[in-house]
Structure 1
Amino acid sequence: MKAMILAAGYGERLRPLTDVRPKPLCPVVNVPLLDYWIRRLADEGVSEIVINAHHLADQLEAHLARSRWPVRVHLLRERKILGTGGGLRNALSVLDDGPFLAVNADIACDVSVKELFRVHQDSGAPATLLLCRSERFDSVRVNTAGNRIEEFERPARHSGSHLHVAGTRLWTFTGVHVIEPRILRNLPKGVPHHIIDLYEELICQNNPPAAWCVPDLWWREIGSPDAYWALNRECASNPKKLLPQGGNDHGPVFVHPDARVDPDARFQGMVVVGAGCRIAKDAFLEDVILWENVRVAPGVSLRGCIVTDGVRVETDHRNEILLADGRVMKRPS
């Protein structure tokens, strides 16, 4: 099996965090989702992975070069962003002729990749999409049997309700799908294309993608600062360890082994401290995420904050996002 991790996007809704890092490298309990997917796919038997890059591509390249991975990993830079369909078409020379997995790098879920491939092979369809329930993102209508895509509801037709006008419950496309390469070959290489447009063309040709509907699937996305915060909180607080966690586990507190915390610093609630951080005497942190190489001065109080790479914190902050360029922005709460 081969796979492609889609990592080229700008992450507009996740700004200002994506002004600092590309979305796949934004850490969840000190571990980027990109790392989670590479190791998860390797554990599931994937032998080779392609990752596309555009926004802050140098960071992605450097990150991949710093680590040893359990499978072969290729990075494909896009000089202009190609969208999901265009990015997949651009990678076909590496992905070969068999069905392959595609997954968005900004989501996490507990899908069985092997089972998804089995469902796809049994379907005979040009692609198979993993669907779940989320209400907020429910926008895909399936047939009565629940095994074929009938329609992708567009925002103009889908005004926030998770019920279709005919009363049919809609589903969320997880960003995880198995694709037959032949359906991409007619797309012009190097030209932006949206994969949903291609799937809609297949529906019009009476050759729709298959659906694998898993109503109780654990699925999360980090498309916005509040979603990013919520996933960190969920993973830090859940003893089941939904995702790999980077640091010493003391309840909802995770301190990276390369961080240094003064014995007189105090933590409360969820606290994640990244590599290279230094927390000084009498600092107080409550519900805080520190990325890497953050310095917190003596006596400083941080509550409900996300502090990005390299920030020196000299004053108190509450419910804010702090960036190394000096910007301080309100965090949705």
Structure 2
Amino acid sequence: MNAIILAAGYATRLRPLSYIRPKVLLPICGHPLLDILLRSLSGSGFNHVHINTHHLSGQISSFLCQHDYALEVKTYHEEEILGTGGGIYRMIEEIPGTKTSVFIINGDILAGIDPLVVWQVHLKSRAAVTMVMIDLPEYNNVLVDRDFSIVGFGEKAKPLADKNPELRFLAFTGMHVVNKDIVLRYSPNKKFFSIIETYENAISAGEKVKAMFVPHITWQEVGSVEGYVEAHKRLMRNSEEFAPWLTNVSFPSIHSTAAIHRSAKLEESVCIGRNSKVDANTILKNVIIWDNVLVGKDIQLEDTIVCDNCTVQESMKNEILLPEM
């Protein structure tokens, strides 16, 4: 079973955090997001994972060299970003077999659904493409009919929706399964393109492109600073809402190697990474601390993210602290 993790983007909505780490290595309650994704895919029975890289790709390569997973991981570095379609085409072209199906996930989401279930639904439906959908008004831009066949995407689909009240827009979760031959047959003849262009061509040719509508799953984007903060709050409040996707991952708010002075106060949502130290009389409220951070005495931090290798010497609120470069 093959899976693809899309990880090549610049993660502009995560800046300045993505200046320090690529988005798939941002720590989520102490676990790099890539670690969460690989553990989850392995637990669901996938044994081959393909990852495209570009921005800060060396960090991803180093991370994979330092960790051993119960699956084969192959990276594909893009000298120039190819878009979701170009990246998928390049990777899927090298996967053996002409009728192979591949599970694909964006490298910046968490979801409360087992990827194996998505895989099984796709195979049973005999669809060319299966896209996992939810109803989230701010993201709804995929048009489906009453049988959950996809008929269009984005602005181009609005005239169809205006003419037919039985059609509705849903939100794409960033998880989909596609048959290899569909990507090879219907992708445009150019290097950079969106996978949506491929799917539009497949729909025009009469292929079965389906929505798997899962109205009650938990879903969280981690591709923006706001989403990143919200993911921490939700996981520390109740990580089980993301099960079974996160079955093999535990989420302590304080890493076992962190040192917290007994007089320090931690309020509401606080996450402290590996080898970090919080000194005496410090108050932390809604704070995310990455690795190798020192928070000095008598400091108050609120609604703040402290990145790797920082020393905090003054109180802060609503800040992102980066290491000196």
Give the TM-score normalised by structure 2.
Answer: 0.91
1:17–1:177: structure 2 CA closer, same or farther, 3 Å change rule?
same
Write the distance in 1 (CA, Å) between the matches of 2:145 and 2:168. Answer: 11
How far the C-alpha of 1:60 sits from its partner, in A, is: 0.8
Partner of 1:31 in structure 2? 31
How far the C-alpha of 1:300 sits from its partner, in A, is: 1.0
Write the distance in 1 (CA, Å) between the matches of 2:48 and 2:239. Answer: 31
For 1:33-72, list aligned pairs within 5 A: 33-72=33-72
Write the distance in 2 (CA, Å) between the matches of 1:64 and 1:155. Answer: 40
Q: 2:122 aligns with which of 120, 127, 134?
A: 120
Residue segments in structure 1 that go unaligned for 5+ positions in a row = 159-163, 248-253, 327-333
The number of residues matched between the two structures is 314
Partner of 1:181 in structure 2? 180
Give the TM-score normalised by structure 1.
Answer: 0.89
Write the distance in 2 (CA, Å) between the matches of 1:35 and 1:288. Answer: 22
Write the distance in 1 (CA, Å) between the matches of 2:232 and 2:220. Answer: 11
| Two-structure CA RMSD over aligned residues (Å) | 2.1
1:32–1:206: structure 2 CA closer, same or farther, 3 Å change rule?
same
Write the distance in 1 (CA, Å) between the matches of 2:151 and 2:157. Answer: 17
How far the C-alpha of 1:123 sits from its partner, in A, is: 2.6
Give secondary structure in 2 for the equivalent of 1:91.
Answer: helix
How far the C-alpha of 1:115 sits from its partner, in A, is: 2.4
1:239–1:172: structure 2 CA closer, same or farther, 3 Å change rule?
closer
Residue segments in structure 2 that go unaligned for 5+ positions in a row = none
Give secondary structure in 1 for the equivalent of 2:122.
Answer: helix
Q: Which has the higher contact order (CA 8 A, sep 6+)?
A: 2
- 1:100 and 2:99 equivalent? no
Write the distance in 1 (CA, Å) between the matches of 2:308 and 2:88. Answer: 31
Partner of 1:161 in structure 2? none
Supply the AA of the counterpart residue of 2:120: R
**Given that residues 188 and 197 in structure 2 are in contact (C-alpha distance below 8 angstroms), is that contact kept between their aligned partners in structure 1?**
no
Supply the AA of the counterpart residue of 1:304: D
Give secondary structure in 2 for the equivalent of 1:102.
Answer: strand
For 1:85-234, list aligned pairs within 5 A: 85-97=85-97, 98-146=100-148, 148-154=149-155, 165=162, 166-167=164-165, 168-186=167-185, 187=187, 191-234=191-234
Q: Which range moved further: 212-221 or 185-194?
A: 185-194
**Given that residues 236 and 251 in structure 2 are in contact (C-alpha distance below 8 angstroms), is that contact kept between their aligned partners in structure 1?**
no
How far the C-alpha of 1:127 sits from its partner, in A, is: 1.2
Partner of 1:278 in structure 2? 277
**Given that residues 255 and 274 in structure 1 are in contact (C-alpha distance below 8 angstroms), is that contact kept between their aligned partners in structure 2?**
yes
Deviations for 1:71-130, whole angstroms, at most 9, x for unmatched residues?
A: 111111111111111111111254222111111110011223232222212333221111
Give secondary structure in 2 for the equivalent of 1:154.
Answer: helix
**Given that residues 270 and 286 in structure 1 are in contact (C-alpha distance below 8 angstroms), is that contact kept between their aligned partners in structure 2?**
yes
Write the distance in 1 (CA, Å) between the matches of 2:87 and 2:20. Answer: 23
Write the distance in 2 (CA, Å) between the matches of 1:38 and 1:178. Answer: 17
**Given that residues 310 and 324 in structure 1 are in contact (C-alpha distance below 8 angstroms), is that contact kept between their aligned partners in structure 2?**
yes
